[in-house]
């Protein structure tokens, strides 16, 4: 038998918490000394304590925990519940990391106002190019909506393309256009190919020809989650030099290693007039 202090230490909880669990009938001690009121626990009670803590971490109230335990939830069912909670927490962490990246990008954009060089902007004639692409819909042009759409599109594109005999002949090119639904954006994830225009078998891939454009271009270094300062520097240059934008920038992947911080991407924004 263990004193309440020892049992609390083995269970990695507080003695105060154990007293509360006793008071509400969730976990009674094995024995209470009638003279002193001291509580004593057995090692076998650690199993119930572990389940209490696990279910609390799943988000259940103590009343719900008691109801579940009284129904004798088995180890396998409890493991399943914990796996589900783990998946939810992992997704929350991914979402929080994505939000943090967006905040950092916005902060860098604010900090670089008036200081980010536009000397590297080049106006050039971009020839027509054919791309094999998959497309999807994002709720907006914000990175929090674009990234979850474009990533899976590229993850599907290359394996599907590999089974068709159509081989990439140049860089990846992503481009965007407004969707019929207000605020939504059509995301096109493509790669340069030399192939006839039209569907590629029954893969869902389509080869399209992007028209030649006059573009203001700038090279972005790093993950596209942090592209905001670069794209806004391009916007400042376009405005300062008397041009007008004709739509979304094309994103041409010049270097795309596994380490996203080492990506090199050219933004090609179609422009008119000077």
Q: How far is CA 122 from CA 146, 160, 171, 204, 232, in A?
A: 26, 35, 19, 35, 15
Nearest-CA neighbor of 147 among 90, 217, 108, 94? 94
pLDDT value of residue 103: 79
| pTM of the complete model beyond 0.85 | no
For residues 272 and 134, what is the distance between their CA atoms, to the nearest angstrom? 28
Nearest-CA neighbor of 112 among 229, 216, 220? 229
Task: Give 47's Cβ-side CA count (13 Å radius).
Answer: 9
- Rg (alpha carbons) of the chain, rounded to whole number: 29
Q: What is the DSSP string of 137-193?
A: EESSSSHHHHHHHHHHHHHHHHHHHHTTT--EEEEEEEEEEE-SSTT-EEEEEEEEE
Q: How far is CA 21 from CA 38, 53, 91, 190, in A?
A: 15, 11, 31, 59
Q: How far is CA 39 from CA 32, 220, 240, in A?
A: 5, 65, 78
For residues 7 and 173, what is the distance between their CA atoms, to the nearest angstrom? 61
pLDDT value of residue 46: 92
Residues of the chain with pLDDT under 70: 72-73, 106, 108-119, 274
Reported as a single tens digit per residue, the pLDDT across 3-41 is 999 999 989 899 999 999 999 999 999 999 899 999 999
- Positive or negative torsion for Cα 56, 60, 64, 70: negative
Strand partners, 175: 188
Question: Per the structure block, which two tokens stand in for 225?
Answer: 């989650």
For residues 107 and 92, what is the distance between their CA atoms, to the nearest angstrom? 22
Reported as a single tens digit per residue, the pLDDT across 191-221 is 999 999 999 999 999 999 999 999 999 999 8
């Amino acid at each position: 038998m263990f004193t309440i202090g020892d049992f609390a230490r083995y269970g990695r909880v507080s003695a105060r918490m154990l007293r509360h669990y006793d008071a509400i009938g969730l976990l009674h001690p094995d024995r209470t000394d009638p003279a002193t009121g001291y509580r004593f626990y057995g090692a076998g009670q650690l199993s119930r304590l572990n389940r209490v803590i696990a279910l609390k971490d799943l988000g259940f109230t103590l009343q719900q925990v008691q109801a579940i335990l009284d129904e004798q939830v088995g180890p396998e069912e409890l493991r399943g519940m914990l796996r589900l909670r783990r998946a939810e927490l992992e997704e929350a962490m991914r979402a929080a990391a994505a939000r943090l990246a967006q905040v950092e990008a916005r902060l860098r954009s604010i900090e670089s106002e008036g200081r980010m060089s536009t000397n590297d902007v080049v106006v050039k004639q971009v020839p027509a190019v054919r791309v094999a692409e998959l497309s999807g819909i994002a709720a907006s042009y914000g990175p929090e909506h674009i990234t979850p759409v474009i990533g899976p599109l590229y993850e599907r594109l290359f394996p599907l393309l590999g089974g068709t005999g159509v081989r990439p002949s140049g860089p990846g090119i992503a481009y965007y256009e407004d969707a019929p639904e207000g605020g939504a954006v059509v995301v096109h994830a493509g790669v340069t190919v030399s192939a006839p225009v039209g569907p590629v078998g029954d893969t869902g891939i389509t080869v399209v020809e992007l028209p030649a454009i006059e573009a203001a271009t700038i090279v972005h270094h790093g993950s596209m989650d942090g592209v905001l300062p670069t794209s806004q520097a391009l916007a400042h240059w376009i405005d300062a030099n008397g041009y007008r934008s004709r739509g979304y920038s094309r994103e041409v992947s010049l270097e795309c290693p596994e380490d996203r911080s080492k990506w090199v991407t050219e933004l090609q924004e179609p422009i008119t007039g000077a």
